[in-house]
């Protein structure tokens, strides 16, 4: 994982008011909760007292209460009450504080800060210039037995489209890969497929290719966008679970008409379409070895794998920088 980044990890609707949700993200066992006032909190899913899972407890006002001995912790992880010691006993209560993780919400997504506390950056990764409130969207969730890096690379892979998706988005047998052109700016990779039917011609080098209106965009650390048109787009955030598992949250965005209710219907229609395409990818990606991709690997990449090589290079630079 890349440290000191905001990761999109859950949809906001997954954590309801006065409820606790257990979720493993970024190799961490976590308890997400929403207090009586609606504030969002995230703490290590283990009580400091006797190690019970806090996610099995309950929300009491602005705190989460342990199911074992009812110790209470607020959204910052601070211990606020120990019933066994009584209301008058507050001395050394801070020794029971539980590890907490900064979380924020935007665009119906819960973001988790993975890195050094106090170094959180203000901007949350998204595509605000391309996805605003005028769009309606549907959301599909699926678990892949694959590292998030492999899942992301699959969405930047223009070579596999006519092979894996031969009867869906890859129809036409356009197996010859021109380029593709790849651009990188401020944490964002931009590319587009420029495939053709193979009639014996040589593929064009990346320098002779352009970014098409139907393009792919990836924003570090874990959000991807397929710009199908100005009115229809697909976005995925890849929530890392651990070294071998990822949860994909796939959104179909639409503002194809001037009526929001109709756009919502179109978005819902797009949901099963996304599922068919996603399952075609999943069948293959989960077989890749090693589970985690790397910049320096034994894989023999093609020229058409330019977007994947760019992703690996930038990810490696991020990891190296965060380790300093």
Express each pLDDT in 81-115 by its tens digit.
999 999 887 788 999 999 999 999 999 999 999 99
What CA–CA distance (Å, rounded) separates 308 from 299?
Answer: 12
* Class (C level, CATH) for 5-114: mainly beta
Instruction: Report residue 60 as tokens.
Output: 């009491």
User: Which residues fall within 8 angstroms of residue 216, CB to CB, at 6 or more apart?
Assistant: 155, 156, 190, 191, 192, 193, 224, 225, 226, 227, 307
Counting as low any pLDDT under 70, the low residues of the chain are 324
Q: What is the dotted CATH code of the domain comprising 136-323?
A: 3.90.380.10
User: Which residues fall within 8 angstroms of residue 299, CB to CB, at 6 or more apart?
Assistant: 293
pLDDT digits (tens, 9 = 90+) for 37-53: 999 999 999 999 999 99
Map 41-74 to HEC letters: EEEECCCCCCCCCHHHCEEECCEEECCCCCCEEE
CB atoms within 10 A of CB 84: 9
- The predicted pLDDT at position 90 comes to 79
The domain segmentation of the chain, as residue ranges, is 5-114, 136-323
Q: Would you call 31 helix, strand, or coil by DSSP?
A: strand
Q: Which residues pair with 59 in a beta bridge?
A: 64
- The predicted pLDDT at position 324 comes to 67
- C-alpha torsion sign, points 281, 284, 287, 290: negative
- Angle of helix 260-285 relative to helix 148-155, nearest 10 degrees, comes to 120
CB burial string 132-143: b at 16+ within 10 A, e below: eeebbbbbbeee
- The predicted pLDDT at position 112 comes to 98
What CA–CA distance (Å, rounded) separates 3 from 163?
Answer: 35
Instruction: Report residue 38 as tokens.
Output: 């609606």
Residue 47 backbone phi and psi in degrees, to 5: -70, 140
């Amino acid at each position: 994982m890349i440290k000191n980044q905001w990761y999109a990890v859950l949809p906001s609707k997954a954590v309801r008011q006065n409820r606790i949700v257990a979720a493993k993200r970024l190799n961490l066992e976590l308890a997400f909760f929403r207090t009586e006032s609606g504030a969002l909190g995230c703490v290590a899913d283990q009580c400091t007292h006797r190690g019970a899972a806090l996610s099995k407890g309950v929300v009491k006002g602005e705190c989460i209460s342990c199911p074992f001995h009812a110790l209470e912790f607020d959204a910052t992880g601070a211990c606020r009450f120990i019933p066994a010691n009584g209301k008058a006993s507050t001395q050394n209560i801070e020794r029971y504080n539980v590890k907490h993780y900064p979380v924020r919400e935007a665009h119906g997504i819960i973001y988790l800060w993975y890195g050094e506390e106090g170094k959180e950056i203000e901007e949350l990764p998204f595509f605000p210039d391309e996805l605003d409130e005028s769009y309606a969207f549907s959301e599909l969730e699926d678990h892949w037995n694959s590292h998030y890096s492999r899942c992301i690379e699959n969405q930047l892979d223009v070579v596999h489209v006519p092979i894996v998706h031969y009867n869906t988005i890859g129809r036409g047998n356009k197996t010859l890969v021109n380029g593709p052109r790849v651009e990188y700016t401020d944490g964002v990779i931009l590319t587009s497929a420029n495939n053709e039917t193979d009639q014996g011609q040589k593929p064009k080098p990346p320098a002779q290719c352009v970014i098409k209106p139907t393009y792919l965009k990836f924003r570090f650390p874990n959000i991807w966008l397929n710009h199908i048109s100005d009115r229809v787009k697909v976005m995925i955030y890849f929530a890392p679970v651990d070294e071998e598992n990822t949860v994909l949250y796939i959104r179909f965005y639409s503002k194809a008409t001037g009526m929001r209710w109709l756009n919502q219907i179109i978005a819902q229609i797009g949901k099963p379409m996304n599922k068919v395409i996603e399952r075609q990818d999943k069948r293959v990606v989960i077989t890749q070895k090693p589970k985690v991709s790397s910049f320096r690997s034994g894989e023999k990449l093609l020229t058409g794998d330019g977007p994947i090589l760019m992703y690996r290079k930038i990810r490696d630079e991020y990891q190296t920088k965060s380790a300093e």
